[in-house]
A and B are shown apart, each in its own frame.
Chain A
Amino acid sequence: MDFSWVPAYTGLFLKAFGMTLRLGAIAVFFGTVLGLVVGILSTTKNRILKPIRVILKVYVELLRGCPLLIQLFMVYFGFPYMGINIDISLTTFLVFTLYSGAYIAEIVRSGIESISVGQWEAGYSLDLNYMQIMFRIILPQTIKLALSSLVGFYIGMIKDTSLASIIGYSELVRNGQSIMNQTGRPFETYIMVGVCYFIICYPLSKLVPVIERKAARYDRA
């Protein structure tokens, strides 16, 4: 093992690390927004919204039911085939947002459905309308319940950004490959790449039990 070459490549590692963080942040942020909207819509009971619910259900089921890699390939190869030409960053952002949106929608939906009907009834008896009950009563409780699974999913999402390297998005693994080719030291290179992911994911994973304890304490109060 020889890590003496690492300082010369610090800049490249940091740049690649930034790219991974950016992709992770985009996937997490837009995925959460999309997931919240889809999750809330799929718990509605309105009859007019039924077709939308069916479409959303298909979307969530399909994207949760097949590997991210297939989805990446599908958009990366399939969109140009349909005559839609978008560059790699946009392809990656699109796929990761849709993918994380589907998972987060499921987390939000099951969270909302686990809130007891009594909360709704109490809200209606106070003459609040649907929007008020959803955003002031139900959603705050849902977020509290779902936060630990959300953070767990975020960790998975950040790790999954590594798959973007396969279609050529320049992030940690992709840059690791070029560093490996320049230095001829795959063993140390991949340890360094692994350490970069570990630095983000490990603290987040330690956050999950803390949130769970907090939520449990809040529950009893």
Chain B
Amino acid sequence: MFLDWRYPIDHIGELLSGALLTAQISLICFLTSLFLGTLCSIVRYSKKPKVLYILVSIFVEIMRNTPLLVQLFFVFFGVPQLGISFSPWAAGVLVLTLNSAAYYSEIMRGGIQSIPKGQWEAADSLCLSKTNAFIRVIFPQAVRDAFPSIANQLVLLIFGTSVLSILDVRELTQTASILNSQSFRSMEIFTFVMLFYYAVTALILLLTRLVYKKWFASKIERR
């Protein structure tokens, strides 16, 4: 065995375009799932309206307690049986968004619940309506409390995009698999890709720590 590091470096263009698709999918899914998850968390927190609460709860429990891969296969292979079919990219983005939205709904609900009742009462005493109190007082604090978990879930989301490789979405993992089957330089390629993922997650965690320190940490007063 000899390691030939030129191979992944020679094919850096392909790997980078794969990484770009990973980044694109991650970004789309992150934004949509954070939005959707926040909406779900409001329903889960307020428990009103009753019907919606039950539906959202069922959605969250199913998404959180079945594997991403099964959800992906269900949407890509199962749902077409009903006459609706998706492209691999669309199925992947849809499933990742819904999956991650379920996790974000729990994270945000935890954030909202962590805000003490006194904050609601204070807002009420200032004559803020319930909606206004939520948007201006409770929600910003909830985001602050949930911030580390939000970043963590983003990292898990990026890892989740690697599962889309199974449907031949040409993101980083699939690009690596293709290069691997062309050359069988497995060790070099996968080590390279591993370090690539590691660098991205390390960067994200570093950035979130900086943002957290700069914007949020100073504003946390111990209750």
Contacts and interface: CB of A to CB of B under 8 A. Distances in A.
A198 B60 CA distance: 12
A22 interface: no
B208 to A, nearest CB: 14
Contacts of A161: 67
Given A67-B159, A81-B186, A187-B82, A160 B173 contact: no
Interface string A156-184: 00011111011000000100110010000
Contacts of A186: 73-74, 77-78, 80-81
B32 interface: no
Interface in A22-71: 61-62, 65-71
Contact of B190 (A70, A180, A194): A70
B65 interface: yes
A77 interface: yes
B184 A69 contact: no
Contacts of A176: 70, 73
A62 to B, nearest CB: 6
13 contacts: A62-B194, A66-B198, A67-B197, A68-B159, A73-B176, A78-B186, A81-B186, A166-B69, A191-B78, A197-B65, A198-B62, A201-B66, A205-B65
A173 B67 contact: yes
A189 B70 contact: no
Contacts of B202: 65
A213 interface: no
B194 A173 contact: no
Contacts of B187: 74, 78, 81-82
B165 to A, nearest CB: 7
Contacts of A88: none
A74 B69 contact: no
A198 B65 contact: yes
B1 A70 contact: no
Interface residues of B, number: 41
Contacts of A177: 73
A159 B186 contact: no
A138 interface: no
B77 A190 contact: yes
A193 interface: yes
Contacts of B159: 66-68
Interface of A: 61-62, 65-71, 73-74, 77-78, 81-83, 155, 159-163, 165-166, 173, 176-177, 180, 185-191, 193-194, 197-198, 201-202, 205
Contacts of A194: 62, 66, 70-71, 74
Nearest to B163: A69
Nearest to B64: A205
A6 to B, nearest CB: 15
Nearest to A68: B159
Contacts of B184: 77, 81
A65 B173 contact: no
B78 A190 contact: yes
Given A186-B78, A187-B79, A197 B70 contact: yes
B57 interface: no
A193 B66 CA distance: 9
Nearest to A189: B78
Contacts of B80: 186
A102 B15 CA distance: 27
Given A67-B159, A69-B173, A159-B67, A74 B194 contact: yes
A190 B70 contact: yes
Interface in B100-146: none
A162 B66 CA distance: 10
A180 B162 contact: no
B68 interface: yes
A181 B77 CA distance: 11
B155 to A, nearest CB: 8
